[in-house]
Amino acid sequence: MTLQDQFGNIDIYVFDQLLRGRIVPGMRVFDAGCGGGRNLVYLLRNGYDVSGNDADSNAIAQVRTLAEALAPGRAHDFRVEPIERTSFADWSFDVVIASAVLHFAQDASHFETMLRQTWRVLRPGGVFFARLASTIGIESDVVPVGNGRFRLPDGSDRFLVDAAGIDSWTRTLGGTLLDPIKTTVVHDQRSMTTWVARRA
């Protein structure tokens, strides 16, 4: 089996959490805005209890097919719904993944609702992982377009956070950072920040 077969197109920073032992067998994992399941291949192959949601019904159909192929006979719960209307119960999961989804918020209120819904389903002591676009390192290269959204150098519009905002939200939600805030700047395109916290 190739690495591609084993891990799929997993976000390298989710892979880093696996290597650090923060996502281990027996944990319940929720992928918010899971798409077609690119971050779930390894987890499905290795018996994790995986659930997720996405507003795109085609994406949910795809991830259900993936789960059926990689983990036949196991029950997985993938729901067609936007993150801000997550219907899973409070404190349901040991790990929440929100990879490249929170920056699609329409404004600050929408971002808060999305974030609080992902946090709501996380158990006390659980791990929250988000990767999202930010202003960090490209402050002079982004243009405000209103409602907390900015035009990025690649021409796209995204809701952007900064380090102070991440720190503030972590404290507000009752969490602690597990890793320093880490940011990758893609020259003339965007800045992507990794936010990993533990719920108290």
Last residue of a domain, one of 81, 108, 136: 81
Task: Collapse the DSSP code of 24 into the 3-class scheme (helix H, G, I; strand E, B; otherwise coil) and give the result.
Answer: coil
**Statement to judge: residues 140 and 194 lie in one domain:** yes
> How many domains are contained in the chain?
2
Integer-rounded Cα Rg, in Å, for the chain is 16
Mean pLDDT of 109-125: 98
The answer to whether residue 1 scores a pLDDT higher than 90 is: no
**Statement to judge: residues 152 and 185 lie in one domain:** yes
Contact 17, 196 (CB under 8 A): yes
**Statement to judge: residues 123 and 192 lie in one domain:** yes
Of the candidates 165, 169, 164, 193, which has an alpha carbon nearest to the alpha carbon of residue 181? 193
> Domain containing 48: what range?
1-12+37-81
**Residues near 170 by beta carbon (within 8 Å), at least 6 away in sequence:** 176, 177, 195, 197
Q: How many percent of the chain have pLDDT more than 90?
A: 98
Instruction: Tell me the H-state helices in the chain.
Output: 3-7, 12-19, 41-45, 57-70, 108-120, 163-172
57-106 residue pLDDT tens: 999 999 999 999 999 999 899 999 999 999 999 999 999 999 999 999 99
Straight-line distance from the first to the last Cα atom of the chain, in angstroms, rounded to the nearest whole number: 39
**Statement to judge: residues 55 and 150 lie in one domain:** no
For the entire predicted model, the pTM comes to: 0.96
State the pLDDT confidence band at 54, using cuts at 50, 70 and 90. very high
7-17 residue pLDDT tens: 999 999 999 99
